[in-house]
Structures are given as C-alpha cells and as structure tokens.
C-alpha cells in the first residue's frame, strides 16, 4: 500500500525560545523549533525509511503517548510531563557511575536527583492544554481591553507566539462518550481554565446525562455524553437514577434534543474528535442482574439491596460477546450520526485504586474492546489507562481521579490528538509542522497521514 507522508525539510529550524508564565505560580520555558516557510512536499514512504522510528514508523508518525514513558512529577503539578523513552534516551552518554570496576573513591551509587535535565524534558510531548490556557488568557485579555476601549495591551514575546500559532484550536468541538471518569476529566479541564462546567439533560437531567465546557473567545467546546453501558433496556432492578439506558434511547431522548448543536463543528456534521468507551457500567449491570436473580429466590424479608461491591471475576465469555455485539452497534450508530470523517478513538479503561484482583471484570472488557476497535473498526486507542496505571496518589476515591497531575496530562493528551487531526506534526516534543489554515478542517486527511501506523491493539 503506497503511503504518502509529508516531507519535513531538514533545514536549520528556527529555534524560538520563549517563556510561558503559566497563570499559576511558576514560569516554565519550553523550546519549540518551528519549521520555516511552508515548503511541504509529498514524497513516497521509502524516502523516510532511513529516518524511521525503531525501523517501522516514520518519525513524523510516532505517537508520544503510545511509547512507554516516565511520569515526571515535581512539587508543582503544572510541571507534570509524560517523557517517552525514545531511542535518544538510550544514546545519552554513560554516567560516570556506570564505570566498572567501581573505583573505591567513588562512593555509593545513588543517582537520587529527581530533576530531569532539560535535554530529556524537552523530548516530552508539547503540553497543549497549557498552551490553550495561555491562548485563552491572551484572548480574554484582548477582549477585556477592547471592551473597555483601553489601548491595546502590550504584547510579550510569548503572547505573540501564542497568538500566531494557536489559532488551530479555535472553533472546535470535542465529544467524549463514556462514564463519570470522562465527565470528571472534562470538569477538571474546565476548572483549570477557570470556567463553569455545565450539566444538562432536559427533563432527564441527572449527573449522568450530558455536560459540557465551552471556552469563550477560543470557541472550543468539550462535551460529554454519558453512556449507561450496553444494556438494551431498563430493568426494574436498575440501580441508578438514570431513566433511559440503551444508547439508542439515550440518543433519541437526551443527546440529540439536548446536546446536538453543541457537538457540531466546522464540518457541519459532527465534532472534530470523538473518544468513546463503555465498561464500568456493563460490569455493574451484570452484577446487579445476578443479585436480583438471587434475591428473587429468597423470601421477601430476606432480600437485600444491591451494592456495587468488589467484583473479582472477569465477565463470562457470553457477557463479553454481548458487550462486543452491542459495542459494534454503538460505534456503527455513531458513525451513522456523525459520518465517517471524524477521528474516533477508544478511550482505554482505567482500573481501581486498590485491589488488583478487583480489576478482573474491567480488564476483561478492556482487552476485548482493544481487539474489537482495532480489528473491526480500524480505530486508534487513546491509551490513557497505560499512563494512569499505578498513579494511586492521583485518585480521589476508589475509581475516580482527582484534579491534579493526571488530569493535566489527560487534557494535554486530548489536545495532542486534536493537533494531529488539525494537520499538526510534532516529533519528540518539537513542532515540525503547524496546522495550516487551509487544511485545518480536513480532519480525515490529516488523521490518515499517520493512522495506519498507529492502529495497534497494545495489550495490557
Ligand atoms: C539535579 O539535576 C539538575 C538537572 O540536571 C541540576 O541542574 C541540579 O544542579 C542537580 N542538583 C544537584 C543537587 O546536584
Ligand atoms: C468580548 O467577549 C464577549 C463575550 O464572548 C463578546 O460578546 C464581545 O463581542 C467581545 N468583544 C469584542 C470587542 O471582541
Ligand atoms: C477590537 O474590537 C474591534 C471591533 O469589535 C475589532 O475590529 C478589533 O480587531 C479588536 N481588536 C483586537 C485586538 O482584537
Ligand atoms: C464557533 O464554532 C462553531 C463550530 O465550528 C461554529 O459553527 C461557529 O460559527 C463559531 N462561532 C464563532 C463566533 O466563530
């Protein structure tokens, strides 16, 4: 299959150095090398082979969030970064401590400095959400001075950079179909921008209907549609206040009437990026059904209410077959609604804070869905669960993350994929190509540039 890729000229990149003062306390310096001019041409795939990653993927197509990495955390949560272990890491010079035999006067090998050298830190993916914070603050300031007819504000170098490079993020719509984990992430994203997260649902309003975060001036909207799992109806024993269960009914009664206009982007037919998943609720539905079955066999006075409890077993193979068939319908349904041009990703399922044996149910669904979405739908995985695995200090309860390090990374990651869908190319933390105004809305073409390299089941 001939694969066409953008050729990024190796001309001395103009290095732009600027400091971003994150609205909060510290000021961090990022280095971006910006490609000069727009001399993009298209070359055949083998022209890039010499520069491929691990002999397989052109550098321009490497997904930093799919590479095993190091979770860099510092005291300030804003400094959190995901640092992929690129080959360049293994090419770093030897540390003096690796010398063998160990010189007697060396002392013990401790290597306990937690700071990461800039040369390594700068290979981390661009923290796009933090760039969005800057951009929003800049536009807001311009708007405020303009409204009050004050003279235009003095622009710093970093303001100018942001103004000139971030407009690709304007007029965008991002849709997450999932559960409370997705809702929480969007709520944190919203709060990190100082904005109001709005829940809506018409006459069906509960926390589990739809919610959104609209960023004025930037005109980007993040929307969540709460999916109640893959069940086809609402049984009597349903354990939550949700009145409508199947995705078909939820679409008809809630999403379409209440939220549809919020998710339609510039294409006029759908959002610019979709994440979807199901799992937690499927697992609980089966448990709740089984509980009800057991209770029916008991005299009335001995029956107990369902509590979610601690499932220690995987789903049965028939339960997984059921979920898989329903999930196929779910994806096909959404493709009918939004067309086939929107990049759609499966958001991998995270596990509980504690009790590895209680993850069996969720892992069985996640493994099945990883295989399903990649083999049946040629879909890429938004592999949040692999980044989040083991981050026990970042949970606020047994299953949800708190607003903090992991939520910033989630937001960065979300915008990373929007950057790619907009035609941007980033290699080892350096922007090689900024989205161009004329192609910023060619979602499918932009996405497909690297898509074939990135459909990967990545087992866990
Ligand atoms: C720790 O590492 C950083 C980055 O390499 C360096 O700037 C700093 O001086 C080191 N601190 C100590 C105590 O060696
Ligand atoms: C400032 O923002 C408000 C709210 O989005 C908008 O109504 C208004 O037109 C903006 N003013 C200018 C001068 O852009
Ligand atoms: C200020 O507002 C006016 C009128 O709405 C507009 O033409 C101008 O471009 C705005 N200035 C900036 C810096 O956005
Ligand atoms: C905001 O974005 C939406 C979706 O792209 C677009 O339809 C709308 O015209 C934009 N609004 C403004 C004021 O640009």
Q: Which atom of ligand 2 is nearest to the CA of 146?
A: 13
Q: Is the CB of 148 under 6 A from ligand 1?
A: no
Could you tell me which residues come within 8 angstroms of residue 223 by beta carbon, excluding any fewer than 6 positions away?
Answer: 173, 174, 175, 176, 186, 210, 211, 212, 259, 262, 263, 271
Residue at 13 is within a domain:
no
Residue at 85 is within a domain:
no
CA dist list (Å): 219 to 140, 163, 170, 248, 454: 12, 15, 6, 29, 29
User: What pLDDT, on a 0 to 100 scale, did the predictor assign at position 42?
Assistant: 31
Residue at 84 is within a domain:
no
d(CA 271, CA 267): 8
> Which tokens hold the place of 342?
């929107």
User: What pLDDT, on a 0 to 100 scale, did the predictor assign at position 64?
Assistant: 97
d(CA 345, CA 176): 10
In this structure, the residue with its CA closest to atom 3 of ligand 3 is 146
**Pocket residues: Cβ below 6 A from ligand 2:** 143, 146-147, 216
What 3-state class would DSSP assign to 455? Answer: coil
Residue at 219 is within a domain:
yes
Q: Is the pLDDT confidence value at 29 over 50?
A: no
Could you tell me which residues come within 8 angstroms of residue 259 by beta carbon, excluding any fewer than 6 positions away?
Answer: 200, 210, 212, 223, 225
Q: Which residue has the tokens 């491929």?
A: 52
Expressed in angstroms and rounded, the spacing between residue 114 Cα and the centre of ligand 1 is 8
In this structure, the residue with its CA closest to atom 12 of ligand 2 is 143
Q: What is the distance, to the nearest Å, from the Cα of residue 126 to the centroid of all Cα atoms in its chain?
A: 14
Q: Is the CB of 219 under 6 A from ligand 4?
A: yes
Closest CA to 13 of 38, 34, 39, 37: 34
Q: What is the distance, to the nearest Å, from the Cα of residue 7 to the centroid of all Cα atoms in its chain?
A: 27
Q: Are strands 172-178 and 198-200 parallel, antiparallel or unpaired?
A: unpaired
Q: 82-132 pLDDT, tens per residue?
A: 999 999 999 999 999 999 999 999 999 999 999 999 999 999 999 999 999
Q: Which atom of ligand 3 is nearest to the CA of 143?
A: 14
Q: Is the CB of 155 under 6 A from ligand 3?
A: no
User: DSSP characters for 103-163?
Assistant: PGGG--------PPPHHHHTTSPP-HHHHHHHHHHHHHHHHHHHHTTPPPPPPPHHHHHHH
Using the 8-state DSSP alphabet, how is residue 77 labeled?
G
Q: Are strands 27-34 and 425-427 parallel, antiparallel or unpaired?
A: unpaired
Q: Is the CB of 267 under 6 A from ligand 4?
A: no
Q: Which residue has the tokens 């922007």?
A: 431
Residue at 66 is within a domain:
no
Task: Give the domain extent around 257.
Answer: 168-425
Where does the pLDDT of residue 14 fall: very low under 50, low under 70, confident under 90, or very high at 90 and above? very low
Could you tell me which residues come within 8 angstroms of residue 299 by beta carbon, excluding any fewer than 6 positions away?
Answer: none
Q: 335-377 pLDDT, tens per residue?
A: 999 999 999 999 999 999 988 888 999 999 999 999 999 999 9
Residue at 96 is within a domain:
no
Q: 232-256 pLDDT, tens per residue?
A: 999 999 988 889 999 999 999 999 9
d(CA 5, CA 115): 37
User: What pLDDT, on a 0 to 100 scale, did the predictor assign at position 447?
Assistant: 98
Which ligand lies nearest the alpha carbon of 171? Answer: 4
User: What pLDDT, on a 0 to 100 scale, did the predictor assign at position 154?
Assistant: 82
Q: What is the CATH number of the domain that holds 199?
A: 3.40.50.1110
Which ligand lies nearest the alpha carbon of 159? Answer: 3
Q: Which residue has the tokens 């690297």?
A: 450
Closest CA to 349 of 239, 411, 275, 289: 275
Question: What size, in residues, is the chain?
Answer: 460
Whole-structure pTM value: 0.89
User: What pLDDT, on a 0 to 100 scale, did the predictor assign at position 31?
Assistant: 30
d(CA 452, CA 396): 37
Q: Are strands 273-276 and 344-347 parallel, antiparallel or unpaired?
A: parallel
Report whether 260 contacts 271 (CB < 8 A). no
Where does the pLDDT of residue 32 fall: very low under 50, low under 70, confident under 90, or very high at 90 and above? very low
Residue at 177 is within a domain:
yes
Phi first, then psi, for residue 37 (nearest 5°) are: 70, 180
d(CA 61, CA 65): 12
Q: Is the CB of 115 under 6 A from ligand 1?
A: yes
> Which tokens hold the place of 280?
């937690």
Expressed in angstroms and rounded, the spacing between residue 273 Cα and the centre of ligand 1 is 40
Expressed in angstroms and rounded, the spacing between residue 113 Cα and the centre of ligand 1 is 6
Where does the pLDDT of residue 202 fall: very low under 50, low under 70, confident under 90, or very high at 90 and above? confident
User: What pLDDT, on a 0 to 100 scale, did the predictor assign at position 273?
Assistant: 98
Structural domains in the chain (count): 1
* Least confident window among 17-31, 191-205, 236-250, 389-403: 17-31
User: DSSP characters for 306-324?
Assistant: -------SPPPHHHHHHHH
Q: Is the pLDDT confidence value at 46 over 80?
A: no
Residue at 410 is within a domain:
yes
Arithmetic mean of pLDDT, 125-146: 95
CA dist list (Å): 163 to 139, 145, 159, 269: 8, 16, 6, 28
At residue 214's C-alpha, the angle toward residues 209 and 219, to 5°, is 140
d(CA 45, CA 5): 6
User: What pLDDT, on a 0 to 100 scale, did the predictor assign at position 292?
Assistant: 95
In this structure, the residue with its CA closest to atom 11 of ligand 1 is 113
What b/e readout covers 388-427, taking b as 16+ CB neighbours within 10 angstroms?
A: beebeebbeeebbbebbbbbbbbbbbbbbbbbbbbbbbbb
In this structure, the residue with its CA closest to atom 14 of ligand 1 is 113
Average pLDDT, the chain: 88
């Amino acid at each position: 299959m001939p694969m066409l890729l953008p050729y990024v000229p190796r001309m001395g990149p103009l290095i732009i150095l600027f400091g971003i003062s994150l609205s909060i306390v510290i000021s961090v310096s990022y280095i971006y090398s910006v490609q000069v001019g727009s001399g993009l041409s298209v070359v055949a795939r083998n022209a890039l082979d010499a520069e491929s990653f691990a002999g397989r993927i052109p550098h321009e197509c490497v997904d930093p969030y799919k590479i095993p990495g190091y979770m860099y955390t510092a005291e300030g949560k804003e400094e959190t970064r995901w640092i992929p272990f690129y080959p360049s890491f293994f090419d770093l010079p030897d540390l003096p401590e690796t010398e063998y035999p160990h010189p007697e006067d060396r002392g013990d090998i401790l290597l306990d400095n937690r700071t990461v050298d800039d040369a390594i830190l700068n290979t981390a993916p661009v923290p796009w959400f933090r760039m969005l914070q800057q951009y929003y603050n800049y536009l807001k300031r311009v708007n405020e001075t303009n409204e009050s007819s004050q003279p235009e504000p003095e622009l710093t170098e970093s303001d100018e950079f942001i103004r000139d490079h971030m407009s690709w993020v304007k007029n965008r719509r991002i849709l997450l179909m999932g559960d409370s984990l997705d809702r929480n992430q969007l709520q944190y994203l919203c709060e990190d921008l100082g904005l109001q997260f709005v829940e809506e649902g018409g006459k069906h309003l509960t926390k589990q209907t739809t919610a959104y975060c609209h960023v004025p001036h930037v005109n980007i909207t993040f929307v969540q549609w709460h999916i109640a799992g893959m069940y086809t109806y609402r049984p009597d024993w349903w354990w939550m206040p949700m009145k409508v269960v199947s995705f078909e009914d939820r679409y008809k009664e809630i999403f379409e009437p209440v939220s549809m206009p919020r998710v339609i982007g510039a294409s006029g037919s759908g959002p610019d990026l979709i994440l979807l998943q199901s799992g937690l609720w499927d697992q609980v539905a089966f448990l709740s059904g089984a509980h009800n079955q057991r209770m029916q066999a008991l005299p009335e006075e001995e029956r107990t209410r369902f509590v979610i409890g601690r499932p220690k077993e995987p789903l049965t193979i028939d339960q997984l077959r059921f979920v898989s068939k329903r999930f196929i319908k779910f994806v096909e349904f959404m493709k009918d609604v939004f067309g086939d041009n929107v990049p759609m990703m499966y958001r991998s399922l995270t596990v509980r804070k504690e009790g590895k044996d209680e993850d069996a149910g969720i892992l069985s669904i996640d493994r099945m869905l990883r295989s399903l979405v990649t083999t049946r739908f040629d879909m890429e995985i938004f592999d949040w669960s692999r980044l989040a695995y083991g981050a026990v200090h970042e949970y606020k309860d047994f299953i949800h993350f708190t607003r903090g390090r992991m939520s910033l990374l989630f937001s960065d990651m979300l915008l990373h994929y929007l950057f790619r869908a907009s035609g941007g190319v980033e290699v080892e933390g350096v922007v090689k190509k900024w989205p161009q105004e004329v192609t910023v809305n060619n979602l499918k073409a932009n996405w497909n540039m690297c898509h074939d390299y990135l459909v990967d089941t990545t087992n866990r």
